[in-house]
Amino acid sequence: MQIHVVQPGNTLMEIAMMYNVPLNELVTSNKIENPETLVIGQTIVIPIWGSYYFVQPGDSLYTISYKFQVPIQQLERINNLTSNSQIVPGMRLYIPQKPRTPIYSAAYVDTDITGERSGEVVLEVGEFLSSIQVFSYQVNSKGEFKPISNEEEVLSAAKETNTRPLMVITNIEDGRFSTEAATAVLGNPQLREEVLDKAIAIMKEKGYKGLDIDYEYLGAQNREAYNSFLVEAREKLSRNGFSLSTALAPKLTTDQVGVLYEGHDYEFHGNIVDYVFIMTYEWGYVAGPPRAVAPINEVKKVMDFTITQIPKDKIMMGIPLYGYDWKLPFVQGESRARAISSQEAILIADRFGANIQFDEEAASPFFVYRDEEGINHEVWFEDARSIQAKFDLVKSLGIRGFFYWVLGREFPQNWLLVEDNFVIKTY
């Protein structure tokens, strides 16, 4: 498929004619909610196999062949050209579809976010996912499990779409990741065993296929105890035919300082678990200053380190399906950004007459606007360009695959690009 960035004066009809695609197909495939008033800088995915290239001044068939790595003879054949044909600026050439990469994909679904729509959300996109992580059974300091609402609907949808369901346990207590809750469980061998036995009983009862442990903010004091917990989990889960995975903070060094990082031993996890979910997002976050949620330059640094610690065939790279809207000026300790979908970002830009810009270093779109009350805002989100940049990184690294945090915010362009880039493996 092809990504078109809306330019001043563009209309959907003009874009449809440019790429020889039915207008209605452009609207429905992208689920465009502002078809009459496109936003400058908005991306539209053109639903065709392959892409079109418009000849630029100075181009030749040789340079185009080299640019797209397509033999000249093939370019001539599929575009009805001969060796004597002349190409001129503005001429449209069809570039054939590149081979798609077989890969594993996954996504977390937080039923606290999706609510009664949880099953419907999984049904809508399950065909693009190898596994679904149901977030989450919260384990408190006593080793007690808080149940998941709308869990049965998600598991039913996973079964219907042949998506492998993973049970997620977290050290969330009183609405936040708790170092104290983790310490109470991980530091007590008896509680560790009880937690694993409870998890396995639930997995057997409900039909889960694996356990994903998302223990965060552990601090250095829990590093070795967490490693011991994983060894015990590996033994129990293997005996019962279940997989084991972990969600890991985005590290740059083995000894990175910070309560979020110090408890996660990349190399140890890589040796013990079946695969890891690297949380490569939240550079831009609710309480932080405006910036891209997952800037590609920062994501690449994390992934370059990760592949030195963990086998590539165990690594799943995280991709966000959301953005943030910050009020300005940002005040540290006071300001709180609002999470938004990519679709909502476009509607906001349209409503307030903002042009969408693109940060090339971060490979992320952003814009600024002033609301009805005169308050300035800055918005960073994901679009087709930023998602394609992440897909390109996944392919270049040769890792197991990628995953999303989190389902529930509409982003149809993402799924168009999944289909264009990958053949999704199933378990």
| Catalytic residue flag (residue 267) | no
Quote the CA–CA distance of 81 and 86 in Å, as a whole number.
Answer: 9
* Helix (H) / strand (E) containing 31: none
**Which segments of the chain belong to CATH 3.10.350.10?**
2-95
- 387-396 pLDDT tens trace: 999 999 999 9
61 token code pair: 């068939």
Asked whether the beta carbons of 263 and 171 are under 8 A apart, the reply is no
Q: Identify the three-state secondary structure at position 328.
A: coil
Length reported for the chain: 427
Report, as an integer, the average pLDDT of 105-132: 97
Q: Is the pLDDT of residue 344 over 90?
A: yes
Report, as an integer, the average pLDDT of 24-35: 94
pLDDT at res. 46: 96
pTM higher than 0.75, yes or no? yes
pLDDT at res. 134: 98
298-302, long-range: CB within 8 Å, 24+ apart, which pairs? 298/250, 298/362, 299/250, 299/390, 299/393, 300/393, 301/252, 302/250, 302/251, 302/252, 302/278
Q: Is the pLDDT of residue 251 over 90?
A: yes
2-95 CATH fold: Membrane-bound Lytic Murein Transglycosylase D; Chain A (3.10.350)
First to last CA, the chain: 27
pLDDT at res. 1: 86
What b/e sequence results for 333-355 when a residue is b if at least 16 CB atoms lie within 10 Å of its CB, and e otherwise? Answer: eebebebbbbbbbbebbbeeebe
pLDDT at res. 410: 86
CATH, range 101-319+401-424? 3.20.20.80
> CA–CA distance from 268 to each of 93, 262, 287, 424 (Å)?
51, 13, 31, 28
pLDDT band at 44 (very low <50, low <70, confident <90, very high): very high
* Helix (H) / strand (E) containing 365: strand 364-370
pLDDT at res. 84: 83
Task: Please state the separation of Cα 30 from the chain's center in Å.
Answer: 18
- Give the Cα-Cα-Cα angle 379, 384, 388 (nearest 5 degrees): 120
Q: Is the pLDDT of residue 408 over 90?
A: yes
**Which segments of the chain belong to CATH 3.20.20.80?**
101-319+401-424
Mean pLDDT rounded to a whole number for the chain: 97
pLDDT at res. 406: 97
Q: Is the peptide bond before 406 cis (omega within 30 degrees of 0)?
A: yes
* % of the chain with per-residue pLDDT over 90: 98
Q: Which of 212, 251, 237, 263 is nearest to 108 (CA)?
A: 212
pLDDT band at 83 (very low <50, low <70, confident <90, very high): confident
- 159-217 pLDDT tens trace: 999 999 999 999 999 999 999 999 999 999 999 999 999 999 999 999 999 999 999 99
* % of the chain with per-residue pLDDT over 70: 100
Q: What is the residue type of 94? A: Y
Q: Which residue of the set 153, 173, 216, 378 is catalytic? A: 216
97 token code pair: 């579809």
> CA–CA distance from 49 to each of 52, 70, 354 (Å)?
10, 15, 32
Quote the CA–CA distance of 350 and 378 in Å, as a whole number.
Answer: 14
Least confident of 84-93, 295-304, 364-373: 84-93
Quote the CA–CA distance of 335 and 78 in Å, as a whole number.
Answer: 55
Report, as an integer, the average pLDDT of 322-332: 97
Q: Is the pLDDT of residue 85 over 90?
A: no
* Helix (H) / strand (E) containing 286: none
- Give the Cα-Cα-Cα angle 121, 123, 129 (nearest 5 degrees): 95
pLDDT band at 297 (very low <50, low <70, confident <90, very high): very high
Q: Is the pLDDT of residue 82 over 90?
A: no
34 token code pair: 């502002």
